[in-house]
Chains A and B, each alone.
Chain A
Amino acid sequence: MQRTNGLTRRAVMAMGAGLASFATLSAGGAGAATRGGKLIYARYADSLLLDPVWTDANVDIWVSSSIYETLLFPTDDGRDVKPGLASKWELSDAGKTITLTLRDGVKFSDGAAMKAADVKFSLDRARNPKNGAWADMVGSIDSIEIKEPSTVVLKLKHPDPTLLPALAMFNTGILPEGPYMATPGKDDEERYKAFAEHPIGTGPFMMTAWQRGQKMTFKRNPHYWATAADGQKLPLLDEIEFQIIPEDSTRLLKLKAGEIDGTEFVPFSRVKELQADSNLRMELWPSTKVVYVVLMCKDKLWNGSDNPLSNKKVRQALNYAVNKEAVIAITTLGLGKPLQSFMSSATPLNIMGGPLYPYNLAKAKALMAEAGFASGFEASVMMTAGNQDSTNNLTAIQQMWSQIGVRLKIEQLDNPTNTKRYRAEDFQMRHGGWTDDIADPSEITSYFAHFPNVHSLHSGWKNDKVSALYLASQEEVDPAKRKAQYKELQEIYIEEAPILFLFETPYPVVWRKNVTGFVQIPLGNNFFEKISK
């Protein structure tokens, strides 16, 4: 996506391993940008499917914004929206009507102009419950009307404060109706696979070649509409080659040898070393990534035995007994920050009331005694096998909890097994991580706190007040009232502690020194169009 109109690109970097706070500084000026060239970027895993509505994975979502663009764009700080393929929007009818004015001169990568019909087609496709897992995000749309060639009107079933952010979310990316419908296939299911092989969008790049698991090639879209602050046409690069290199140390060796220009998902243990390398530039982008342990809140475990964690005091004790700063130092070498809510500090409406459950062993012991577990108990936690960060976190926690008599057994499971048991609610604790997809707290809240969706992370924690606040907030158009609802909701959640609150981490990305202009927003989306090398 594109950011013009004098908006400064911001690369936010941690100023050192010991420093938990992030400072803002500008990374390279667009004015000095050179044009052309090929960028080689190594990814830890390949994409699976480049379709906005049928995708299920971050490996698709994070690069697809280079191909498909949305009516609105998330701002660089991930907290708000700004004009995208729609140059302006207007709310009326008490928030039940949204009138969008489409930007002039937008063309698809095949050269055809984007029309209002393409927008209606794409949004209708995105909100069709038969299509993919994300239709609910735009479920409040009742009808879509084309008023004038460049005006699209959305009529909503009810006022929906999450709809504007949803119009900046990947699943509402705009596709060309004509070429899509001309793709062979009797229904959307058959069509999308073929279309996603040769996707057409309005984004700065086009995917021109893809050898699964090896590499993917993006070429510049010659019809791209946006220009840089200095008037240069975007994107600046001619080509991006994504190489797939799962092994962390291999990616970094290739970077040091100059075989690639940049790479993502740098292990935190390597950040310091890379910061000291004069050929490289380490970037730590603020993210919505939160790390936590789900605590089963039901009275009985899956096997029928009693569950001490059903007692709120036990859950609070477990939180007090963990020295988060120490865990952050061990796992992220100081690059993480303690959680201030279940959502990240980059998520809008986080109450930001300071670190939760500051380490207090005496208080933890007292709470355990009050709950009738003065001598502790045995407990188990499951994690995805082979994840070094989870291992580090849980081993540290295991040690810390032994101080209050909790004997923790760590179960390492492969991902599908872990997920199966999670969904079956056959666990006592589960190590987890989350990143938002939308610049709004509603998505994470629906999973973490609103029982009907997924039983509050399958913990079985049910709080009618929280659900009522959440449902009201979904239709609340007054920002102040919505903020108050989210404040109360978070306060209850924190006090109830259905999770162990750990920390949030930035996205670590590293580049050869000559590469500038990359942007990764807190939602994770990668933006390459202003990169020059």
Chain B
Amino acid sequence: MSRGTWLISRLLQMLPTFLLIGIAVFVLARLLPGNAVEAMLGERGTDEAVARLTARLGLDKSIFAQLMAFLEGVMSGRLGDSLAFRIPVTRLIGERLPVTMMLTGLAVAFALTAAVPLAFVAALNANRWPDLLIRGVFQVGLSSPIFYVGLVLLTVFAAWLRLFPVGGYGDTLGEHIYHLFLPAMTLGLSFAAIVMRNLRASILGVIHAEYVDFARAKGLRGSVVLLRHVMRNALIATVTLVGLEIGSLLGGAVITETVFAVPGVGRLMVDSIFARDYPVIQALTLVLAVFVSLAFLVTDIVQMWLDPRVGR
């Protein structure tokens, strides 16, 4: 199979996945007790007001009719209006998705920048003090709740030292990065810890492999052996891990976005679930599913590049 057909078949394989996810989320959202009308009217809901709003939002139609309307909408690119905000879901998500993408991207960048070099330092000094120190620090990161880490970083770097803004997102690209610095560190911390531990173990696994000894015996320089033979092979497992962890990063974004007042889709998702804003829940889940699937695909492509045996 050529790489082109492989890619196309991978993309096609995703479609039934999305359909299943769409249906599952549609059903799950409606299995939650209460509905958007009850969430919206709260204490003030008289029977009359509830009936009127239910009809207006189209929630009086059968679940099956609503599902068909939803699927038909998805096929034609219409995802409906948010029940709470009364604006198209696409616009609502369009405004917020780039924020979360940027936050997640920065978190990954932070994590890899810190974890990869430190994993090498730790592995090359296995069980000596640099290794113990690095592992100790990351262990703290791994075991601290995101909510807590966020508040500590906020208090120290934003409120006391005034190095960063306390929260928000800013208006320009520079401001976005500046505002997202602390949230990305918070979000990236436990991820960095996982990557570091995993990569360190992989390096230790390959560092004494015969092909590494052979490369050294050929007389290659230490750095070349490290980059071309040790790192490339050790990274294979780590790349898989990074791909798999993208999903949990998005989960962490929900909490990070709340603490740092970052207006991303994580917060939107939580708000929508509490408001039983079905169109937003459905659309957002689909969008995130596409995002995670694409992350898996990119992982596979990177793996193929690292290890040509993959994908054959």
Contact = CB atoms under 8 A, between A and B. Distances in A.
A244 B35 CA distance: 24
B87 A420 contact: no
Contact of B85 (A49, A250, A259, A415): A49
B33 A417 contact: yes
A380 to B, nearest CB: 16
Contacts of B92: 212
Contact of B271 (A189, A211, A213, A253): A213
Interface of B: 32-36, 38-47, 49-50, 52-53, 56, 81, 84-87, 92, 95-96, 151, 154-155, 158-159, 162, 165-169, 258-261, 263, 267-268, 271, 274-276
Contacts of A434: 43
Contacts of B274: 414-416
8 contacts: A48-B86, A213-B263, A243-B168, A251-B261, A257-B165, A414-B34, A419-B39, A420-B38
Interface of A: 48-49, 56-57, 130, 133, 189, 193, 196-197, 211-215, 243-247, 249-251, 253-254, 256-257, 259, 414-421, 423, 432, 434, 447, 453-454
A130 B52 CA distance: 8
A212 B275 CA distance: 15
A416 B34 CA distance: 5
Contacts of B36: 416
B261 A247 contact: yes
Given A133-B53, A423-B45, A447-B44, A211 B34 contact: no
B86 A257 contact: no
B175 to A, nearest CB: 13
A250 B38 contact: no
Contacts of A259: 165-168
Contacts of B155: 253
Contacts of A57: 40
Chain B contact residues, majority secondary structure: helix
A66 B154 CA distance: 33
Contacts of A250: 154, 166-167, 259-261
A415 B39 contact: yes
A49 B95 contact: no
- Best-buried of B87, B96, B261, B276 by chain A (most CB within 10 Å): B261
B56 A214 contact: no
Which A-B residue pairs are the 8 nearest by beta carbons?
A416-B34, A214-B263, A420-B34, A245-B261, A416-B39, A417-B33, A254-B166, A133-B49
Contacts of A432: 43
Contacts of A56: 40-41, 44, 53
- Best-buried of B41, B44, B47 by chain A (most CB within 10 Å): B44
Contacts of B167: 245, 250, 253-254, 259
A133 B158 contact: no
B45 A253 contact: no
B162 A423 contact: no
A257 B166 contact: yes
A448 to B, nearest CB: 10
A510 B85 CA distance: 28
B162 to A, nearest CB: 6
Contact of A214 (B33, B45, B169): B169
B151 A249 contact: yes
- Best-buried of A211, A243, A419 by chain B (most CB within 10 Å): A419
Given A193-B81, A212-B95, A447-B44, 4 more contacts: A246-B261, A250-B166, A416-B38, A454-B47
B45 A419 contact: yes
A42 to B, nearest CB: 8
Given A250-B166, A253-B154, A423-B38, A417 B267 contact: no
Contacts of B169: 214
B181 to A, nearest CB: 15
Given A253-B155, A257-B159, A257-B162, A246 B258 contact: yes
A133 B41 contact: yes
Nearest to A189: B56
A415 B273 CA distance: 10
A190 to B, nearest CB: 11
A226 B36 CA distance: 40
Given A250-B167, A254-B166, A419-B38, A193 B263 contact: no
Contacts of B41: 56, 133, 419
